[in-house]
Amino acid sequence: MKLLSNGLKGWKQSWKSDLRASVTVAFIAIPLGLGIGLASGVPPLAAIIPCLVGGLLISWFSGGNLAVHSTPKMLIGVTAAGVLTLGGDDVFLGYKLFLAAVVFAGILQLILGLLRLGIVGDLIPATVVKSLLAAVGVIIVVKQVPVLMGVDIHLKNIVQLVLALPEIVSQSNLVIAFIGLLSTAIMFLHPRVDFPVIKAIPGAVWVIIVAEIYSHLLGFEQGGSFNVFGILCEFDKSFLISLPKEITDAVVFPDFSLWKTGMFWNIVIAIVIVSSIEGILSAKAIDRLDPLKRKSNTNKELRVIGLGTVASGMIGGLPVIPAIVATSVGVNHNGRGQLMDVFQAIIIMLLIIVGGSQLQLIPLAALSGILIHTGYKLFNPKEILNTYRIGLDQLIIFVSTLAVTLITDMIYGLLVGIAITLTSHVFRLKSFTKLFTILFRPNVVSYEEEDDKFLVSVKGYSNFLNYSRLKSALDVIPYDAAIIVDLSLVDFVDHSVLEHLAEYEENHIRHGGSFEIIGMDTHFSSTDHPLSVRYKSEGKKRNPKKRTLTSRQLKMQALASEREWGFDLSVKRYVNRFEKFHLFRYKLVDKVYNKLIGTLGTYSFTIQDVDFHEGEFQTRADRHTTAAIIGLSNPIPLFTIEKENLFDKVAALAGYDDIDFKNFKKFSDTFRLKGENEQMVRDFFQPKL
C-alpha cells in the first residue's frame, strides 16, 4: 500500500478517504461519548468535548499518524468517584472541582512528555495493566445494570451494587429494560451478522436508530404507562438523555479552590496514571492497525494529549487520549490520515447543533447497553483462562489486583499489583537483596554485527522495572533490520519483558525485518506458554517436556507420511505473507501452525492453521481459520467464494453482487461468488470445475 506524504501533500492524498471514514466514526463517537459522560456522573457533553478538542486542536501536531481522539473509558470509575469525593452532595460543584484536577493532570502529562517519559506505561507489569482494564470493565457493567433496567438506586460501592443486583432485577421497569436488553443484544450480536448492509453500519449506530424509533413510538417525551404482565410500568422524558439547548451552554469553567488539598492531588495522580496508561496502550494498538505501518512517537503523543487535556478541562471536558474504538472503525472504512480526526470533530459538532433534539430521544438504557458491551470487552472472562495459561503466578497477580481495585480504587489496585509481582520475583530468585542489587546494574549490550544485523545481549535480571534499558537499545534499531536478542546470560526474565519483546517481534516482521530470541533453552518456566516467566535454578537441569499431539495432529501426521508430504508442527508467529490477501486486509496474523506442505499433480500447496485477530485493545476479536495456499502455473481472475447464508440470498434479491450459474443451481445456492471482472470469473468456472 502506498505511503502518504507528510504535511499538506499527505492531506491532499488522504482527505477524500478520511472524510468518508469520519462520517461513520462520528456516528459511533457520539453514543459512546454520551454514554461515558453519563456513566462518569458528569454532563453527557463533557465526554464529547475531548472529541472536539482532539480533532480541532491537537490533531495537527499529534505524535500518531492515524489516531482519532476521545476520552478514556478507564477513567469512568475515577471520574465518578472524584466528582463525589470533591463535591459531596453537590454534584455540579464536584464536576467543576474535578475539571480543575483534569487541567493539572494535563499539565503533568505535558511535563512527562517533555521529559521523554512516555515509557511510563511500560514500567507497569503487563498483568497488572490487564487487571486494571478488567476492573474498569466490571465497574462499567455493574454500574450500568440499574440504568439498563430502569431502576433508580444510589449505591456508591461496587460490592454493594453487586449484592443489590437481585433487588434491581426484581424492581425492573420492563418498558425500559426491554430497550436496554435489546440494545445490549444488538451490540453483542452485530459482529456475528455477516450481512453486508448490517455490518457496514457499526452496532452502536444501530442501537441509536432502534432506540430512537422505540422512544418515538412509545411517546417518551410526553410520558405514559403500560401494563406489562400485570405490572404497571411508567415512563417519561426522565428516562431520556438530556442535553443543553445551546452547545455553548456545555462550556463549564473549572473551580481551583481545592488545589492545595491532598484529596485533590490524589485524584490528579489517578487521572495522570490511568489516562497515560490507556493513552499509550491505545497509541500502540493503533500502530498495529495502521495499514501503512507507521510508528507513533510516544513522548510526543503524551505531550499532545497533555495539552489537549488542559484545553478540554478548561472548557468543561474530560481528558483526551487516542481512541482505539473510533480509530478501528475509521481504519475499517478506509481512513488513512490525521484529517479523519479533524473531520469527525466537525461532523460531531454539526450533528449536535443540528440534530440535538433527535439525540434527546435516546433512552439512557440504550446507552447503557452500549457501555455494558464496552465493559465486557474490557473484562473478557477468557482473559482469566489466558492468564492462567501463562502461569499461576500471573493469575494470582491478576485476581489480587482486580479484587483490590474493585474494593478500594485503581491506585491501591496498581500498588498492590506491583507489590505482588515483585514478591513473586523474589520467590523465584529466593533473595530480596539479590533482586534490588542486580536491578540497577547495566544489563544490556547492543552492537551491529554487520549491515542491518544487530545482536542485543541481556544479562542478570530483566523485569518491568529495568525494561527501559532494553527498550532504549531496541528503539534505535530500524524495524526492517534483523535482530537477535540473546537471553542466555539472564537469570530471570519476567512476563512483562517477554510480552514487550513479542510486540517488537511482531512489528519487525510486519515491516520486513526479522526478530529472534535465543538462549532460553536452559531456563525453567511454570508453563509451556511462550510468555511465561523464565528463570535459572542452580543445581537443577531442565528436562525437555515431551509434546503430546492432538488426535487431529496425529491424523495430519499420518496423512503426510502416507502421501509423502511435509508436516511442520512448529509455531510461526506474526507471519506477514497473508497481508496481500483480501481477507487479511484489516486483520493481523498471530501465529501459523500445523502446516502441511506437498504437491498434487503439478500444483504445490500449503495448508495451515491460522490464528489471527481484527481490531486491537478493547476492540480486539480473536479468530481462527484453516488456510490453503496453492501455487498455480497460470494466472487466474481475482475472486472470493464462501458459503452462502440466508442474508446473502436476501441481498442477492436486492441486487447485491453474487455471480450465479443457471445451469448449476445447487452450486449457486450453496456458495456466494464475487469477483472484480465477472466475465473472467465466469470463463474460469468451467463446468468441469
Place 655 in a pLDDT band, splitting at 50, 70 and 90.
very low
DSSP 301-329: HHHHHHHHHHHHHHTTPPP-EE-HHHHHH
Check: CB of residue 98 under 8 Å from CB of residue 76. no
The predicted pLDDT at position 573 comes to 75
The predicted pLDDT at position 512 comes to 84
| One domain for residues 76 and 115 | yes
Q: What is the mean pLDDT of residues 451-466?
A: 91
Residue-averaged pLDDT of the chain: 87
A 10 A CB-CB count for 264 gives 21
Gap between the Cα atoms of 604 and 182, Å rounded: 50
| One domain for residues 361 and 404 | no
Domain of 687, in residue numbers: 639-689
Q: C-alpha distances in angstroms, 462 versus 151, 425, 432?
A: 51, 11, 15
User: Per-residue pLDDT tens for 581-625?
Assistant: 777 777 878 888 899 999 888 888 999 999 888 877 666 778 888
| One domain for residues 414 and 352 | no
| One domain for residues 99 and 127 | yes
Could you give the percent of the chain with pLDDT greater than 70?
93
| CA nearest to 112, candidates 306, 266, 259 | 306
The predicted pLDDT at position 256 comes to 97
| One domain for residues 35 and 179 | yes
Q: What is the mean pLDDT of residues 87-91?
A: 90
Check: CB of residue 81 under 8 Å from CB of residue 263. no
Higher pLDDT, 63 or 59: 59
- The gap between the terminal CA atoms of the chain, to the nearest Å, is 33
Q: pTM here? A: 0.84
User: Per-residue pLDDT tens for 516-548?
Assistant: 999 988 899 888 888 999 998 765 655 556 667
Gap between the Cα atoms of 452 and 482, Å rounded: 6
**Residue 238 carries which DSSP code?**
G
φ, ψ of residue 109 to 5 degrees: the values are -65, -40
| One domain for residues 98 and 227 | yes
Q: Does 372 have pLDDT greater than 90? A: yes
Q: How many domains does the chain have?
A: 3
User: Per-residue pLDDT tens for 493-524?
Assistant: 999 999 999 989 988 888 888 999 999 888 99
User: Per-residue pLDDT tens for 111-157?
Assistant: 999 988 877 778 899 999 999 989 999 999 999 999 999 998 877 77
Whether residue 169 lies inside any domain: the answer is: yes
User: Per-residue pLDDT tens for 245-272?
Assistant: 888 888 999 999 999 999 999 999 999 9
Whether residue 66 lies inside any domain: the answer is: yes
| One domain for residues 54 and 180 | yes
Higher pLDDT, 52 or 335: 52
Question: 490528579: which residue's cell?
Answer: 268
Q: Does 286 have pLDDT greater than 70? A: yes
Whether residue 493 lies inside any domain: the answer is: no
**What is the three-class DSSP state of 642?**
strand
Whether residue 574 lies inside any domain: the answer is: no
In degrees, rounded to 5, the angle at the alpha carbon of residue 328 between the alpha carbons of residues 111 and 210 is 120
| One domain for residues 299 and 430 | no
The predicted pLDDT at position 10 comes to 63
Whether residue 340 lies inside any domain: the answer is: yes
Whether residue 578 lies inside any domain: the answer is: no
Check: CB of residue 319 under 8 Å from CB of residue 305. yes
Gap between the Cα atoms of 79 and 91, Å rounded: 12
| One domain for residues 366 and 403 | no
Place 331 in a pLDDT band, splitting at 50, 70 and 90.
confident
A 10 A CB-CB count for 434 gives 15
Which of 401, 419, 436 marks a domain boundary? Answer: 436
Q: What grid cell was written down for 467? A: 525494561
**Residue 241 carries which DSSP code?**
-
The predicted pLDDT at position 654 comes to 43
Gap between the Cα atoms of 69 and 54, Å rounded: 5
| One domain for residues 345 and 407 | no
Whether residue 429 lies inside any domain: the answer is: yes
User: Per-residue pLDDT tens for 385-417?
Assistant: 999 999 999 999 999 999 999 998 888 999 999
| CA nearest to 611, candidates 639, 641, 575 | 575
The predicted pLDDT at position 615 comes to 74
Q: What grid cell was written down for 280? A: 499509550
DSSP 11-25: HHHHHHHHHHHHHHH
Q: What is the mean pLDDT of residues 76-96?
A: 93
Could you give the percent of the chain with pLDDT greater than 90?
47
| One domain for residues 65 and 100 | yes
How far does CA 4 lie from the centroid of its chain?
25
Question: 441509536: which residue's cell?
Answer: 208
In degrees, rounded to 5, the angle at the alpha carbon of residue 81 between the alpha carbons of residues 75 and 86 is 120
Q: Does 381 have pLDDT greater than 70? A: yes
Contacts made by residues 668-671, CB under 8 angstroms, sequence distance 24+: 669/644, 670/643, 670/644, 671/641, 671/642, 671/643, 671/644
Whether residue 219 lies inside any domain: the answer is: yes
The amino acid sitting at 382 is K
φ, ψ of residue 342 to 5 degrees: the values are -65, -50
| One domain for residues 272 and 298 | yes
Strand partners, 623: 612
Gap between the Cα atoms of 615 and 613, Å rounded: 7
